[in-house]
Chains A and B, each alone.
Chain A
Amino acid sequence: MYRNSLFVLLWLAGLSPVAVAQRTAQGPAGRPLTVSVFSHGISLPTVTPQLTSLNPGLRIGTEIYYRNRRRSQLFQTLNAGGYLHKNLQNALFATTELGYRKFIGGFFVEGMLGVGALGASYWLKQYQPDGNGGYQAASPFVVKAVPTVSLGVGYWFTGGSPVSVFVQESAFGEVPFGFRGQPVLPHAALHVGMRMFFNQNQH
């Protein structure tokens, strides 16, 4: 009974001998669609703030492969998304990152560095000089260039339609930011997502 259940679970998880055997010498071809939901926080890249205060976000993206092998991938991501931070700002962003992914069996670890643009609308009111020595109301919307860094772990389900799932901690910063001498306003996001190949053609 238990043995059968375990077999079914392993099969569903893509660990069946068939699935493993189908893994090609090279990684999957084509461009994946990556979708993740995340909790956003204004914090250094630690997980706790995102778990204790839920500020939801959604990110979609794809990847371009510069090196695509069975054991590793060198790739560039193209992402877009947004989040709602209930106490500070709501934002849309677009980012691109250069990444490296290392496979160990079906598991992988990945690291990415990149840049992006963040368009954030603050809850705080903003004012701009009126040209006469005073200030007048301004849009609370700001656009900033942001550096990004991400680390993740995941599992690659192989087979006819390769899918991987991942957990990723992503950080980006608004620079400059003037608060008590801190040069940067750090953002962190804890992602849970999946990567799917819809147009896979074997090399």
Chain B
Amino acid sequence: MKRRYLLLLSTLVIACQTEEVPQQQAGDCAPDAYAQHAKHQTYQAELAQYRSATNAPGSLMRIVRQGEAIWQGVAGQSNLEHQTGFRNCDQFRVGSITKMFVAVAVMKLKEQGKLGLDDNLVQVLPDKAGNIPQADHITVRQLLSHTSGIVDPPNASMSYQLNIVSQAAAHYNKSVDQLLTEYVYGKPLQFTPGTGFSYSNANYWILQQIIEKKTSKPLQVVLNEVIFAPLNLADTYLERRDDRNVVRGYADLYGNGKLFDVSSWDRAEDDGKAAGGIISTAADLTAFMNGLFGGKLLSAASVSEMIDSVKLPACPNGDCEYGLGIEKWFTGAGIAYGHNGGSVGFEANLLYFVHNKGIFMLYKNNGNGSDKRLMDRLMK
């Protein structure tokens, strides 16, 4: 009898039901001619090697270079449950690349005279007084450049991380204000505002609140008005939607070569939030970079201010690697501006090369880090 109960219990555990993974809805990508590109073989081989080296189920790369046709390629799969092949038009989470979009929205408000970069936090969000130390000394500029000293729960709080692992659905439903209340308010700053650099997603949670307060509109509406609609980025959005068509994310949680589908964790952490919530396509992302650096979104002065590195005691000559929502990369192919994005189940990179106005977009649906030196070879 005891043996029977034990067997029943064991069966219940081992045969435990797993979450449903939805199948991508049918739909064809527009035909493309990338296979006819003169460097197709070279680019495709580099992409395949990148996917293989990073143990990613799938990867995608888009290269825009002056003097040659745009190339884009895919390798592997976007959804392992249904063995769906990666497609050039697939939508994926871009993670912290979202911060560039949010920074553009802030700069637009500045150009419109609705917000000053040196406005302090108490001026723009009075409720932060008493909740965030030295809120009256933290400026919008410091939030954009991660020099506010505010803590970064996604990377530094074990409690935050475990909450995603164990209660993804509940975390998904938390508002930005709830996240700030739970993980940021009352926490000491890492340094006096303006004296150091420490990347923090919480800076962009607060910027989301500032934008929404100043415009009286949800952030996704502002992004649509300022960026998506003017550039006709029809496949890009921030708000929470059914994500069955979004590329699935995977992670090797135990370091044994097996991958878990962690899309629900990525969704819980990112969707709808200014720190990493945008879902887009490779074509839309490169169109955004063209629009930004081509002067279609902001004035040249604003773009210059965004890419100009912050001045800190550690890098007084402007050679820090972050501006206002934009990273500065010193690559083997020259200086590039853009952003890296990543979460548990994916990594994305979007960069604009100054010397040749090239744009490089690289994505994989495995959240481990990666060697991106193929960029040096391909963007010289």
Q: Are B161 and A127 in contact (CB under 8 A)?
A: no
The distance in angstroms between the C-alpha atoms of A123 and B16, with both chains bound, is: 7
Residues in B with CB closer than 8 Å to A139 are: 14
Assess whether A121 is interfacial by the CB under 8 Å rule.
Answer: yes
Are A121 and B14 in contact, CB atoms less than 8 angstroms apart?
yes
Q: Is the CB of B52 within 8 A of A133?
A: yes
- Whether A186 is near chain B, meaning CB under 8 Å from some CB there, is yes
- Chain A residues whose CB sits within 8 angstroms of the CB of B81 once the complex forms: 125, 137
Interface 1/0s, chain A 162-184, versus B by CB < 8 A?
Answer: 00000000000010111111100
Tell me if B162 and A87 are in contact (CB < 8 A). Answer: no
Q: Decide yes or no whether A138 CB sits under 8 A from chain B.
A: yes
Q: Measured between alpha carbons, how far is A173 from B17 in the docked complex, in Å?
A: 23
**Is A125 within 8 A of B260, CB to CB?**
yes
Given A85-B166, A129-B257, decide whether A44 and B80 contact each other with a Cβ distance below 8 A: no
Q: Which of the four size classes fits the interface of chain A?
A: 35 or more
- The segment from B5-13, B126-134, B182-190, B288-296 found at the interface with A is B5-13
The answer to whether B232 has its CB under 8 Å from any CB of chain A is no
Are B253 and A177 interface neighbours, CB within 8 A?
yes
Q: Say how far B236's CB is from chain A's closest CB, in angstroms.
A: 26
Nearest residue in B to A139 (C-beta to C-beta)?
B14
Q: A50-70 toward B: CB 8 Å interface, digit per residue (1/0)? A: 000100000000000000000
Assembly CA distance A18 to B106 (angstroms): 78
Contacts of B41-56 to chain A: CB distance below 8 A: 52, 55
Contact, CB under 8 Å: B165 / A178: no
CA distance A126 to B76 in the complex (A): 17
- Chain A residues near B260: list those with CB within 8 A: 122, 124-127
The distance from the CB of B259 to the nearest CB of chain A, in whole angstroms, is 5
Q: How far is the CA of A40 from the CA of B180 in the complex (A)?
A: 26
Q: Is B158 an interface residue (CB 8 A)?
A: yes
Q: Is A43 an interface residue when CB atoms closer than 8 A count as contact?
A: yes
A118 to chain B, nearest CB (A): 11
- The distance in angstroms between the C-alpha atoms of A174 and B260, with both chains bound, is 16
Whole-angstrom distance from the CB of B288 to the nearest CB of chain A?
Answer: 27
Q: Offer 16 A-B interface pairs, CB within 8 angstroms, sorted by A.
A: A41-B166, A43-B159, A44-B162, A53-B167, A89-B16, A90-B12, A120-B13, A125-B19, A127-B80, A127-B261, A134-B83, A136-B80, A139-B14, A174-B254, A177-B254, A180-B161
Contacts from A to B (Cβ < 8 Å): 41-44, 49, 53, 82, 85, 87-92, 119-129, 133-142, 144, 174, 176-182, 185-186
**Which chain B residues have a beta carbon within 8 Å of chain A's beta carbons?**
9-10, 12-19, 21, 52, 55, 57, 76-77, 80-81, 83, 154-155, 158-159, 161-162, 165-169, 250-255, 257-262, 264, 344, 368
